[in-house]
Structure 1
Amino acid sequence: MTETKKVNPILGSKDLMEYLVDAGQRTVLYWDVMRQRGNQYLARMAEKVPHVLQFNHHLILDGRTLPRPVNYGIIKIDPPEGTVIDDRKRPFVVIDPRAGHGPGIGGFKADSEIGEALGAGHACYFIGFTPVPEPGQTIEAVIEAWAVFLERVAELHPAAEGKPVVIGNCQAGWALMMLAAKRPGLCGPIIVAGSPISYWAGVRGVNPMRYTGGLLGGSWLTSMMSDLGHGNFDGAWLVQNFESLNPANTLWSKQYNLYANIDKEAPRYLGFERWWGRHVILTGDEMQYIVDNLFVGNKLSNAEMVTEDGVKLDFRKIRSPIVCLCSKGDDITPPQQALGWILDLYGSDEDILAAGQTIVYAVHETIGHLGIFVSGSVAKKEHQEFAENIDLIDCLPPGLYEAVFQTKAADVANVDLVTGGYISRFERRTLADIRAMGGNTPEDERCFAAVARLSEVTQGLYRTTMQPMIRALSTEQSAEGLRRMHPLRLGYELFSDRNPAMQPLASAAETVKENRQPAAGDNPFLQWEKGFSDWMTRGLKAYGDWRDMMVEQVFFGVYSQSWLQALLGLRASDGPPRNRPGEDPEHAAFVQRRIEELKAKMDQGGPREAAIRALIYIRLPENAADERGFEMLRRIRAEHGAGKPLTEFKQDLREQYYMLRLDERRAVAAIPSLLTGREDEARKLLEVVRKVVTAGGPLQDEAQRRLAEMERLFTSPPPAGGPEDHS
């Protein structure tokens, strides 16, 4: 009797064969993309000035030709065809971060910081860098070069209404703040995107990267890696630090997303890797300066840094509006690190006003660190709105504001006054709103202070014992060998055509593309694959959470020990481990002089000053500025001629605002005296006031009452005997 061979229904199924063909083809295509990535990396390494800018451009200044040479340069972006640039609008300057990866991310695609600035009619410039620093280059030399670049941009735009807007991304943001503190009158509005400034700040259980310096025992390892690099620090180590924060994405999700969507994902993947995979070098002096003063020392946010030429870097000196863009989803620069400097410098909301500083912040709910500069959705929303409303930001009275973006709808009031896809409002906030985001306790601060003290000790020991030997053994050839053997660099080079095993993939991939047979979306084996991927992602995420928890526990377990703190010269009885910067006597005297000057000027001026004072007085209770009101004012100004320059209007507005804050009753009571003898002009300006204050929609009760009060004063000013009683 002949036996009938049993066939496994699973192995013999059509779904399985379909899946196996699809999976095999995706595997070939995936490894071919890895091969292309490797080849792309080698081609980029051969370029002298690699970048990923998608815009045509031409060089303006090369930092390598300056008296203190640096590997930075500034280029002017050529507007795409059909883009109209208005020479009266202030130019934008985008500074790329130099944190291990290559330049160009600010103009990576059309929907970018550069793209949105060009779309708003602004001339645009870009400050980038070459892969290798100049010998002896320092951070201070870099910011001096930026100053030269910005002066050149201002010279090229004499007709612009205002100084250049400068955007600093990530590492470039804190360096830009240093420059603005050293040269307060150099920049227009400053936008710092995803920039860590207060490095100790954060929330327990959320921000593990701030513990790195403590777990490494300070900055001695940075010195050693620079010495092994023959005086240079390999930026690939920084990129690896970033990638280690999210093992689920680095080890699985990023690569699986490419594999699962290989038919359409390859161009996007290769485009990003073209930027992310071009690791650059910093000098050892630059990296040591960053780690000692910022990462470990945290000296920047509370004005403890002094430049080599004796200038104290105090952010309270900055006269330009400061815009901080950050995100709750950013594990590299959480909101606390982006905004904590405000709490470090200012003890009260009145201190911000006394400093004459305008600070605007915007907190995204979910976007990650790179998304702040790369994401098209952020570019189309936050960066577009900032570009469209930069003059409004520049004219905001001193204080702390949050940028709030409301989706534009057809039924909102005066929708024709909205220039972008969102209605921008800048709402008053207080220091309490920043504190509500969370932060350190005094005990936490003492732990970080202990790390800073320990770092000085371990760094001194390294320099005395190990550094002479390592420097004697290190050569440029050994340093280059170590760079090439770095795991990140090696991963690119191994999967390129330099590896003979990878070369057949090109023809195999072409054959697969010609005979591609993707599995159906409902294929059960494909669903199992996706389920396995979800399981891997959850597992690696759980591992990452566990690792971060252990890192945090070890950090506080070690550095909270009273004996260790005492050994390092810290005692709880000594009070806070770092003090808030003291009041500058010269600035305090300046503020007092300005108060006396403003009080003396309350009765001076004419209908124009009265109208500005009325605008502020009416809107003051609502504690917000709406773009529609400013756009209405802009259109009225254009209709009746330019009048005073924007810079003078800003100064007038600030003076009138201060007068109302100093003595609201007296400032309002003086309005009739400013209108005496010019009743016709007063009535015309009253109509302007009405249009501007109601542009954002119906007024609240208190604002409505104030408008009625101004209508009485503007239409029936008293005779020239003195102002009416405003009691």
Structure 2
Amino acid sequence: MADAFQRTILFWDVMRERGNQAVEHAEAGKPPVLSFRNELVMDGRTLERPCNYLLLRIIPSPDARLRVDPTKRPFIIVDPRAGHGPGIGGFKPDSQIGNALEAGHPCYFISFLPEPVPGQTLGDVAAGEAAFIERVHALHPDAKGKPCVIANCQAGWAVMALGAMHPELMGPMIIAGSPLSYWAGVKGQNPMRYSGGLLGGTWLTALANDLGNGRFDGSQLVSNFENLNPSHTYWSKSYNLYSKIDTEEKRYLEFEKWWSGFFLLNGEEIQAITDELFVGNKLSSGQIVTKEGQRIDLRNIRSPILVFASFGDNITPPQQALGWILDLYDSVDDIRSREQTIIYNLHHDIGHLGIFVSGKVARKETAEFVENIDLVDLLPPGLYELIIEPKPANSVEGDLIVGNYVTRFERRTLDDIRAFGVNDPEDDLRFATVARVSEINLGLYDMFLRPWVRAMTTEASAEALRRTSSHRAKYYMLSDLNPAMQVIKAMAETVRQNRRPVPDDNPYLKAQKQVSDQIVQSLDAWRDMRDAAYEALFMNTYGSPMLQALVGLHRPGAEARPRPVRDEAHEALVRKRIEEIKARVEEGGSLEALIRIMIHVRESGRSVDERGFQMLRRIGRERREGEQVSPDRLREILKEQVFLMELDGERALAALPKLVPTTQLRRTLVEAVQQLLDMRGTAHPNELARFSQIKRLLDLEPDPAARAKEPGDAPHRQAG
């Protein structure tokens, strides 16, 4: 009883400290919750199209500064405006920023301010981010590669759209926990996608904007996240602190500093997000057109795309993170024709926030992404799954493995993505009905209610609503602003001086945990019943043929999900590009020859190993016919040789003797191929046969057919 009473007092004192922390953070202007020193490089408010975004340079610690290599590509981390403030990508050492610095990369962070610039739009934000990335690129002229951009959650779709509008702007993009196909999901598992339909569309977003005097309160987005998992929101999170009050306080307050900071968006920004993306699902079908008339087509992206998602994420499940690929492409060949490289890595159970804040994820997945980012940039066009495995013990090629894990890239098809779960045509028709109903309701709101709401709203009333919201009030009420909390403070000081924790085997402590588990199970059962009811209501309402007919969808030929616009100009460019590549079949040197040989020799269907890429990089760094091969040039060579082998592999192999004319070069080349085969373990018989074919083509191995015709061989064969 003494221990339980003490833990209760200490728990409420931590709540008091949490409230004080929130108040102090708000009074300080809600700066980024980064644990790294930083300096301002660019202020988006000074741009031609002003926005509330900032470009920060991360200042390495004295130890990390020694490791930062100015010739390595810089990393840019972009946090989401999803209700909270910036900093989740670097609020502790084991983080995306920490991984980038540890690997020796210069690091930058795109932050934002609590309030948007008046009149700011998503287009202004995109223009600002483009200017930031260009500045980073200019600050590192000697870097071997364009900046890598890590985009978290909602920043992911923004960076993808930016890459579609400016294809040559950035290097590889790591899209972490980002929704891109908003209707996708699995029945019974992803209830958040039904929210738009259950609320009648986006008219409530417009109402919230008007009540906020043209600005949207981010705390309302946070409430959506918290409602998804009531057992965690209302019990587990607090119980974990209460039960581990002697050790959990620091970690809890660190996270709450970010969680308690709510930021605002302009009404036009959030309305465009809900209309065009979350309800309209227009990004993956190329239906979004900017005010300048530019269509946002994700097929225009030329940077390698690495998608990181998790099956334990109930906010952005893998189906929403990867469904855009099915929306845009008919096959992997379609992806290759666009010269696109798409990679995905799926975690088994980590939750949405764990993708960005988990130390285990940072030390494994994120660290491997960073360490192998140059290899990602060298992958030939296609669709891959990135698989991370522990480094083999006593590996003979340890110098070719970066870090503690081996990264390999397995070739995948669109069927592999479909296997995660897709909507059937009836489901797509339901979501399309939601989009139509949303437009109708928004139009009715604009006509009948909006003028009255705007007439009654002032900035004072909007600020009063924000300050009295439950999300903010719980911090203010449990801070030193409340005189009653001084009693808790005094009692907590006494408790800390006389703390009497019980051992772990205390029977009452075990009973306490059992009660907690029962509470969690009850709340989870209620959540499951609620979600099942929501899903049934959604399916029955928007599956009604009558409602579908009223919005013009229940008729022959009506398309629930519009197909991407056919790009005939691109098709003509592809045909021209094919002819240009075929014309260069006899151009190149030893590096081009090595790539052709490895493509031919490698057994079809086997994975691409990071050790092979490390060997290619090593060869690329060596002088080749008097010139140094840059990473960008090496990637272009790889892409061209892959296309050439697919288009006319027979002619490409026949040209090998011209690419490596001397015997010494040929022997060196064959030795390199042998090394690449050896590091993969026992070679497949087909690979060995193809390798022998190459050696005969380069006159490094006698042709068995020719040897059979040599004089004097016949008696020997008979004797044998």
Give the TM bin, normalised by the shorter chain: over 0.9
The one-letter amino acid paired with 2:102 is: G
Shift of 1:307: 0.8
Q: In the TM superposition, what whole-angstrom CA distance separates every residue of 1:389-418 from its partner, at most 9, and x where no partner exists? A: 111111101000000001113144523321
- Residue 132 of structure 1 contacts residue 281 of structure 1 at CA under 8 Å; is this kept in 2? yes
Amino acid at match of 2:403: G
User: Any idea what the Cα deviations from partners look like across 1:332-362, whole Å, max 9, x if unmatched?
Assistant: 0000000000000001121111111100000
Q: TM-score, normalised by structure 2?
A: 0.95
The answer for the alignment partner of 2:286 in structure 1 is: 303
Aligned partner (choices 72, 83, 91) of residue 53 of structure 2: 72
1:142 CA drift (Å): 0.4
> How far apart in 2 are the matches of 1:408 and 1:572?
57
Deviations along 1:684-722, one digit per CA (max 9) or x if unpaired, are 22222322343333322222222222222334499xxxx
Alignment equivalent of 2:660, drawn from 659, 664, 675: 675
Q: Which of 440, 445, 450 does residue 428 from structure 2 map onto?
A: 445
Cα distance in 2 for residues equivalent to 1:361 and 1:598: 29
- Secondary structure (helix, strand or coil) at the match of 1:52 reads coil
- Give the 3-state SS of the residue equivalent to 1:432 in structure 2: helix
In 2: Cα distance, 1:662 partner to 1:618 partner: 17
Deviation at 1:663, TM superposition (A): 2.2
Q: Which residue of 1 aligns with 2:705?
A: none
Are 2:520 and 1:537 aligned? yes
Give yes or no for the alignment of 1:690 onto 2:666. no
Aligned equivalents of 2:92, 2:693: Cα separation in 1:
51
- State the match for 2:636 in structure 1: 651
Q: State yes or no: 1:619 paired with 2:602.
A: yes
How far has the Cα of 1:623 moved from its partner?
4.1
AA aligned to 2:7 is R
Task: Tell me which residue corresponds to 1:162.
Answer: 145
Contact 1:220/1:462, CA 8 A, preserved across alignment:
yes
Question: Aligned to 1:662, which of 637, 647, 659?
Answer: 647
Give deviations 1:559-582, integer Å, cap 9, x for gaps: 000000000000252253122213
Summarize deviations over 1:612-660 as a string: whole Å, max 9, x none.
2112222362442211112233334446588211111111111110011
- Kindly indicate whether the alpha-carbon contact (under 8 Å) linking 2:692 and 2:701 is maintained by their aligned counterparts in 1: no
Contact 2:145–2:631 (8 Å) recurs in 1: yes
Deviations 1:401-436 (A, max 9, x none): 000001113144523321111100011000000000
- What residue number does 2:689 align with? 705
Shift of 1:47: 1.5
Aligned-partner Cα distance in 2 for 1:111–1:701:
44
Question: Match of 1:712, as an amino acid?
Answer: R
8 A contact 1:247–1:544 mirrored in 2 = yes
Question: Quick one: distance in 2 between partners of 1:118 and 1:302?
Answer: 37
Work out whether residues 162 and 647 of structure 1, in 8 Å CA contact, stay in contact via their aligned partners in 2: yes
Q: Which residue of 2 aligns with 1:26?
A: 7
Match of 1:519, SS?
A: coil
Shift, 1:679, TM fit: 2.6
Name the CA distance, whole Å, in 1 between partners of 2:37 and 2:677: 42
- The SS at the match of 1:222 is helix
| Percent identity for Structure 1 against Structure 2 | 53
Return the match for 2:466 from 483, 496, 499.
Answer: 483
Match 2:74 to one of 70, 91, 94: 91
- Cα displacement string for residues 192-227 of structure 1 (whole angstroms, at most 9, x for unaligned residues): 000001000001000000000000000000000010
Measure, in 2, the Cα distance between the counterparts of 1:123 and 1:620.
38
The residue type paired with residue 485 of structure 2 is M
Query: Which deviates the most, 514-523 or 162-171?
Result: 514-523
Of the three residues 282, 292, 302, the one matched with 1:319 is 302
My pick for the range that moved more, 288-297 or 629-638, is 629-638
After TM superposition, the structure 1 = structure 2 runs for residues 165-184 of structure 1, keeping only pairs within 5 Å, are 165-184=148-167
The answer as to whether partners of 1:679 and 1:717 remain within 8 angstroms in 2 is: no
Does the 8 Å contact 2:437/2:551 carry over to 1?
yes
State the superposition RMSD in angstroms.
1.5
CA distance in 2, matches of 1:256, 1:203: 31
SS of residue matched to 1:307: coil
Structure 2 residue corresponding to 1:556, chosen from 539, 551, 564: 539
Residue pair 2:695, 2:701 contacting (<8 A) in 1 also? no
Check if 1:425 corresponds to 2:408: yes
Partner secondary structure for residue 409 of structure 1: coil
Q: Post-superposition shift, 1:519?
A: 1.8
- Asked whether 1:36 is paired with 2:17, we answer yes
Match of residue 266 from structure 2: 283
Secondary structure, counterpart of 1:93 in structure 2? strand
Q: Deviations over 1:26-85 (max 9, x none)?
A: 000000000000000101111224121111111100111111111110111111222211
1:235 paired with 2:221, answer: no
**Residue of structure 2 equivalent to 1:16:** none
1:125 CA displacement: 0.4
Q: Contact 2:311/2:317 (CA < 8 Å) preserved in 1? A: yes
The 5 A counterparts of 1:516-595 are 516-571=499-554, 573-595=556-578
Aligned residue among 64, 82, 95 for 1:112? 95
Structure 1 counterpart SS, 2:63: coil
| Contact 2:667/2:700, CA 8 A, preserved across alignment | no
How far apart, CA to CA, are the structure 1 residues paired with 2:462 and 2:140?
44
> How far off is 1:87 after superposition?
1.5
Shift of 1:381: 1.1
Pairing partner for 1:45 from 23, 26, 34: 26
Aligned partners of 1:672 and 1:717 also within 8 Å: no
> How many angstroms does 1:366 deviate by?
0.2
| Equivalent pair of 1:388/1:419 in contact (CA under 8 Å) | yes
| SS of residue paired to 2:385 | strand
Deviation at 1:610, TM superposition (A): 1.5
Instruction: Specify every segment of 5 or more residues in structure 1 that has no aligned partner in the other structure, as ranges.
Output: 1-19, 719-727
Q: CA deviation at 1:86?
A: 1.3
User: What secondary structure is seen at the aligned counterpart in 1 of 2:62?
Assistant: coil
Q: Give SS of 2:42's match.
A: strand
Structure 2 Cα separation of the partners of residues 204 and 245 of structure 1:
15
CA contact (8 A) 1:330 1:368 kept: yes
- Residue 135 of structure 1 corresponds to which residue in structure 2? 118
Residue in 2 aligned with 1:342? Answer: 325
* DSSP-derived class of the 1:39 partner: helix
CA distance in 2, matches of 1:320, 1:576: 31
Q: Distance in 2 between matches of 1:314 and 1:693?
A: 40
- The equivalent of 1:15 in structure 2 is none
1:191 is aligned to 2:174: yes
